[in-house]
Amino acid sequence: MPAALDNVSSSREVRVYSTSAIPLPQYRLVQLPPDLLALLTDSSSPPPPLVLRSQSLQTPTYLCARDTVFQLREVSQSNALLLLTPDPAADDEVRATPLHGGYIELIPHTPNIDLSFVPYYHGPHSICITPMISLSLAAVAARVPSSRTAFSRAWTQACGVEIDGVTYRLHDQDVVAKLLPMMLTAVQASGLDPCALEASAVAKAVRGDDEPDENDEPDCVVEAILRRFSTTPSAPYKLDTAALARWFGLTVLAEHADHSTDTAAFTNLWIRALPPLLLDSFPDSTPPLSLLAGECVQPTPNTVVYLPSRTLPIEPAARLKRLFSVRTTWPSEELAEFMRDIEPVPSRVDALFTKHARRKVVKGKAFISRR
């Protein structure tokens, strides 16, 4: 239907028209947050790639950038929206394309990355068995609605590996628990620099003088473990002694998951489980219990209980209720460690405490208790 706009130009009237006889493209308006708009318009650096991702038709759609993720939410409005396009055939006319009655809003989102659909790798012979789902690393990344940075971090923590174009997660007991102590022992015995390790050199040190055979783990498996327990994201790898000690400590503590354990007895077991390469990293060869933050709790000063975050409820109120059932009052920083996997932003963790719990300060130290 013809339409007119008055006072669009001070020098002339611009006629606006639209006709159903002309096929019109479809558009959707997206409202960009200021920080994302600044990245896209910054002339000093190339704009970041933006990707729309959704796991299924029933799940939300996300706009994923390099370091941030936004959930798409449709905002409806009653006002008409028209997209004006100059008509090349007439200087004083523009075409008006009717838009959907609303726009798309971008909500900052911190996704809980789920890689459970990626099958486990149990050893060199397990790749002969066709997994239920066979995806390349690129296909896995495309299915996960997260930023590239967050996905890379989650993939590293999961000991993800791609073998012959198929992705796997290294099984903790069948692969990591078996290979990691061998790797650390081989690094020390071979005189390799733990601050500058190459996967091929570590794999060769594990094999000794033997030639590789079908029973040996491929270099990419060794590299996945190195990457998981290093402070550097790529080679040369620098071993993260704190992360390694934490892994050994949690492995020992998990063996006593069904009951509380005497703290001194557990510490002795932990020390015995650590390879010599790690013991030298701690004063008196004793790792501090604080390395296990977010995975264990001390109901009393002399006892410790295994409490992995992955076994706790995802909903914040339910998680806090479960934590308060174990311990009635928590130091704020210690309780926050149990919330990192569902809310990594510290200010938002504090907001959850304010909403679902009670805070008090004693001698300058904050404590959180049940509301």
312-371 has which CATH code? 1.10.10
Instruction: Specify the pLDDT at position 321.
Output: 94
Asked if residue 267 has pLDDT above 50, the reply is yes
Q: Which residues pair with 361 in a beta bridge?
A: 366
Instruction: Specify the pLDDT at position 54.
Output: 80
Mean pLDDT within 51-66: 82
Instruction: Specify the pLDDT at position 79.
Output: 75
Of 99-103, 241-245, 261-265, where does mean pLDDT reach its minimum?
A: 99-103
Q: Which residues pair with 75 in a beta bridge?
A: 103
Of 1-10, 59-68, 362-371, where does mean pLDDT reach its minimum?
A: 1-10
Q: pTM, whole model, 2 decimals? A: 0.76
Scanning the structure block, which residue is given the tokens 């590996």?
Answer: 161
Of 20-29, 171-180, 213-222, 325-334, where does mean pLDDT reach its minimum?
A: 20-29
What 3-state class would DSSP assign to 73? strand
> Interior CA angle at 161 toward 156 and 167, to 5°?
120
Kindly report, residue by residue over 202-247, the tens digit of the pLDDT: 999 998 866 767 778 999 999 999 999 999 999 999 999 999 999 9
**Which pair of tokens denotes residue 119?**
């099958």
Kindly report, residue by residue over 127-159, the tens digit of the pLDDT: 666 666 789 999 999 888 888 888 999 999 999
Q: Pairing mode, if any, of strands 357-362 and 365-370?
A: antiparallel
As a whole number of angstroms, the distance between CA 4 and CA 83 comes to 14
Kindly report, residue by residue over 276-320, the tens digit of the pLDDT: 889 888 888 889 999 999 999 998 889 999 999 889 998 999 999
Q: What is the largest CA-CA distance in the chain?
A: 88
* Size of the chain in residues: 371
As a whole number of angstroms, the distance between CA 138 and CA 142 comes to 6
What 3-state class would DSSP assign to 368? strand
Domain ranges within the chain, ordered by starting residue: 3-108, 120-228, 312-371
Kindly report, residue by residue over 8-38, the tens digit of the pLDDT: 334 444 444 444 445 555 667 888 888 888 8
pLDDT more than 90, % of the chain = 50
Let me know: does 263 contact 277? Beta carbons within 8 Å: no
State the burial class of residue 287 (Cβ atoms within 10 Å of its Cβ: 0-12, 13-18, 19+). Answer: buried
As a whole number of angstroms, the distance between CA 215 and CA 231 comes to 29
Residues 6+ apart with CB under 8 A from 59: none
Residues 6+ apart with CB under 8 A from 10: none
